[in-house]
Amino acid sequence: MSEPNDSTDDGDRRAFITKATVGVSVACSVFPFAAGVPAFLDPVSGNGDGDAGEIPWSKVASFSALPEDGTPTRFGIVRERVTDAWSTLTNVPVGAVYIVKQGDQVKAFNLKCPHLGCAIDHRSDQGDFFCPCHNSSFAFDGSVSNPASPSPRGMDGLETKIENGFVYVRFQQFRPNLAEKVPLI
């Protein structure tokens, strides 16, 4: 290959060899990465989404046990059946809610702050909800109570029903830091 060669195509030949070498080397270096690109991108591929099914009702509390004066009470949500990658798990905590009694109705809010997902506190002395991360505050109806709050929307309300004296909630999560409430599948 490296024989002395003074003819004019020597330059061409060298240029070709150089190009070929660069090309093949790049192909070799890219190959192992390329082998894993689909798997790496799996979480954003849409593979495995869909068919989330209907959100189940979770039994949260007995209606009569909720404070009459509308003081929020915090409850954990435990799902009977959860799947996580390969696992099927039973009775797994998936989040928590605040329940507020309003006459013969209830309101339920996701514990997570719609700003960036911290857990919201209930301040009984101030009579509001307060997120200790970046100081968002919310009224008991879930709306943003202090305009200086960084949260772009009020607390995320959840669907509720009362049946045979028990409060049920359709628990779900929402995309953080958007003005509108976009459910996560």
What is the binding site for ligand FES (CB under 6 A)? 113, 115-118, 131, 133-134, 136, 150-151
Binds 163: which of ligand FES, other proteins, none (CB < 5-8 Å by kind)? none
Binding mask of the shown chain, residues 89 to 118, with x at each position contacting other proteins by CB under 8 A: x-----------------------------
| First-to-last C-alpha distance (Å) of the chain | 61
Q: What distance in Å separates the CA atoms of residue 23 and residue 10, rounded to the nearest whole number?
A: 20
DSSP label at residue 40: H
Residue number with CB closer to other proteins (4 or 147): 4
Contacts to other proteins from residues 9-28, by CB under 8 A: 14, 17-18, 20-21, 24-25, 27-28
Residue number with CB closer to other proteins (9 or 163): 9
In the complex, least distance from residue 159 CB atom to other proteins, rounded to whole angstroms: 26
- Cα–Cα distances in Å, from 130 out to 14, 69, 119, 127? 71, 19, 9, 10
Binds 60: which of other proteins, ligand FES, none (CB < 5-8 Å by kind)? none
Residue 81, classified by CB atoms within 10 Å of its CB into exposed (0-12), middle (13-18) or buried (19+), is: exposed
Residue identified by tokens 């009579």 is: 127
Residue 62 lies near other proteins (rule: CB under 8 A): no
Q: Which phi and psi angles does 43 have, rounded to 5°?
A: -60, -25
8 Å CB contact between 171 and 76:
no
Residue 68 identity (one-letter amino acid): E
In the complex, least distance from residue 152 CB atom to ligand FES, rounded to whole angstroms: 10
Residues in contact with other proteins by CB under 8 A are 1-4, 14, 17-18, 20-21, 24-25, 27-29, 31-33, 35-42, 45, 47-48, 83, 85-89
